[in-house]
Structure 1
């Protein structure tokens, strides 16, 4: 069976549409073979990206090595509809096209968090050192989160990983405070107008979210932290939250929590942006879902124990690279 590869011009055309990871924070550890699989491309097309200026290093034995975040952005902006990031976003956002009541009804999930320790096609046995892994655990104190499986999550971090069965219950809510409306509109409008580009942002730049925004780039972590800052500056109780967007796999996601009339309400600027631009990223446009992102809590978002959208996975005490998330899985509970 022959796998159709991306048109060469599609991958090259993505290079001018996003901002590459700054050289001093890039992790150049993903080889051509792995990149080709993620981009559904021929290896020669990946080499062509290097020739056209995509940042990389050249290893004498493995050839060009790329930053995984850069590759995810190539895939997201190439427009083929077949790359790993395009398919992942479309699949994870598919629930937005479901009936409104299905966003909030109690839903039970079987979750496995066992982050991958290697990437770039290097077998684990070929590495001198495999990192020690620690992960953030579910926030059982958050509204709508209930642990169904035995055990506990007393500490915010757990070594290696975990498995759990959790019930998530959403809430159909909106907000009234004009200060929240003003901050929300500023952030979402910047994304929707493309004055700020929604793209994958490395963890080192997420940590300096104001700098990322000044550079004109943002992902869910950057946008949520910025929104929380603006809400607090307006005198509101707000924080950036981070956890997993659940489907047949789990994806790192962040949003903002604001307190109004004693109730915690979720603000998700990136979900709202994606539902607003719709087909531009292969996701169905949904004004109803975009509006629900302004206050509602969804039954596919599992918050983890963080103070301000801190990383979910660590290698040897440092934030793990983006590709570690391939070890996160989730599925609806089979006997529910």
Structure 2
């Protein structure tokens, strides 16, 4: 797909309609107005209005203006082929480290991480609060550095700042039975039999349904892989935390135990780096793709979860998009 230009092509976003699968009606949240959609897509309100005319699912507010599902909008951005939208730029920046020298993926690296929950919304009931999931200080390769200790428990009200040392590990998986399960998941993504796209949190909670519907993101793929390995008798689980870079992003991967060693499996990273995507600025890297089969990267900060549960909550429910945290991350130094 050749690149389109949002600035000069009024119908540029329409290139995406039909290229991804929209959120099922029972999990969609049609609460994103045109102005918010335009900011997320770095487009004009007129371009967003054309999405409604072009068939993107939506509801109407009291004034008749279209309201969209935010996950659908993120997929419009990811599939429009401009290279300019927020989701396209996010993928490009977060995957840049895959193009660096192999030792830099694993060497100890110190990070300053700040997590700040968004507060306030016209849609929020009185007395709402946002809770965020804490880093797993006991996770493989994680060392919390000086300063105040992290609070106890899995979740905390309000934000936090922490300095951590993340130490990677280059430890390929040897078991051919694990390889067979792994290949089944990654190859399905590479053949586009299941589309890699944004998936609503409520659909992530039923990852097998998402896979049957032909959609997956990092949470769906890692949960599916962990479940398939567990069914075969392996000790495996899906993990969720932050991918650190110029900023922090929610990410999920799988862990499996082999010979008493916990090894990371990242099917989405493996797929993305195997096929590459020039429009989104992601380089093809067979070496990095192979390293995702067991390698633990020094940019992944796991949080305290049992099975890749959401990182942000609105009271006791997974947070709507407006309550997502702002995650700031910067490397302090390489050790």
Structure 1, residues 269-299: CA drift from partner, whole Å, max 9, x if none? 0000110111254301111110100000001
Structure 1, residues 221-246: CA drift from partner, whole Å, max 9, x if none? 00000000111111111000000001
Task: Verify the 8 A CA contact 1:58 1:64 in the aligned structure 2.
Answer: yes
**2:97 matched to 1:95?**
yes
Shift of the 251–52 alpha-carbon distance from structure 1 to 2, 3 Å rule, reads same
- 5 Å-filtered alignment, 1:318-333, equals 318-333=317-332
Q: Higher helix share goes to which structure? A: 1
Structure 1, residues 52-92: CA drift from partner, whole Å, max 9, x if none? 22122222348222111110000000000000000000000
- 5 Å-filtered alignment, 1:36-55, equals 36-55=38-57
2:142 is matched with which residue? 145
- Structure 1 residue 40 displacement after superposition: 2.0
TM-score normalized with structure 2 length: 0.93
1:121 is matched with which residue? none
Instruction: Classify the secondary structure of the residue corresponding to 1:25.
Output: coil
- Structure 1 residue 322 displacement after superposition: 4.0
- 5 Å-filtered alignment, 1:80-91, equals 80-91=82-93
- Structure 1 residue 247 displacement after superposition: 1.2
Task: Verify the 8 A CA contact 2:115 2:325 in the aligned structure 1.
Answer: no
Structure 1: gaps of 5 or more residues: 119-123
In structure 1, C-alpha distance between the alignment counterparts of 2:122 and 2:332, rounded to whole Å? 34
2:242 is matched with which residue? 244
1:316 is matched with which residue? 315
Task: Verify the 8 A CA contact 2:181 2:228 in the aligned structure 1.
Answer: yes
In structure 1, C-alpha distance between the alignment counterparts of 2:328 and 2:211, rounded to whole Å? 31
- Structure 1 residue 320 displacement after superposition: 1.0
TM-score normalized with structure 1 length: 0.93
- Structure 1 residue 13 displacement after superposition: 1.8
Instruction: Classify the secondary structure of the residue corresponding to 2:172.
Output: coil
In structure 2, C-alpha distance between the alignment counterparts of 1:130 and 1:8, rounded to whole Å? 42
1:31 is matched with which residue? 33
Task: Verify the 8 A CA contact 1:147 1:167 in the aligned structure 2.
Answer: yes
Task: Verify the 8 A CA contact 1:251 1:325 in the aligned structure 2.
Answer: no
1:205 to 203, 207, 210: 203
2:68 is matched with which residue? 66
CA RMSD of aligned residues (A): 1.9
Number of corresponding residues = 329
Shift of the 77–323 alpha-carbon distance from structure 1 to 2, 3 Å rule, reads farther
- Structure 1 residue 51 displacement after superposition: 1.2
Instruction: Classify the secondary structure of the residue corresponding to 2:161.
Output: strand
**2:123 matched to 1:134?**
no
Bigger mean CA offset, 106-115 vs 224-233: 106-115
Structure 2: gaps of 5 or more residues: none
Shift of the 6–136 alpha-carbon distance from structure 1 to 2, 3 Å rule, reads farther
- Structure 1 residue 4 displacement after superposition: 5.9
Bigger mean CA offset, 188-197 vs 12-21: 12-21
In structure 2, C-alpha distance between the alignment counterparts of 1:240 and 1:26, rounded to whole Å? 24
Task: Verify the 8 A CA contact 1:224 1:255 in the aligned structure 2.
Answer: yes
Structure 1, residues 69-119: CA drift from partner, whole Å, max 9, x if none? 11000000000000000000000000100111111111111111112245x
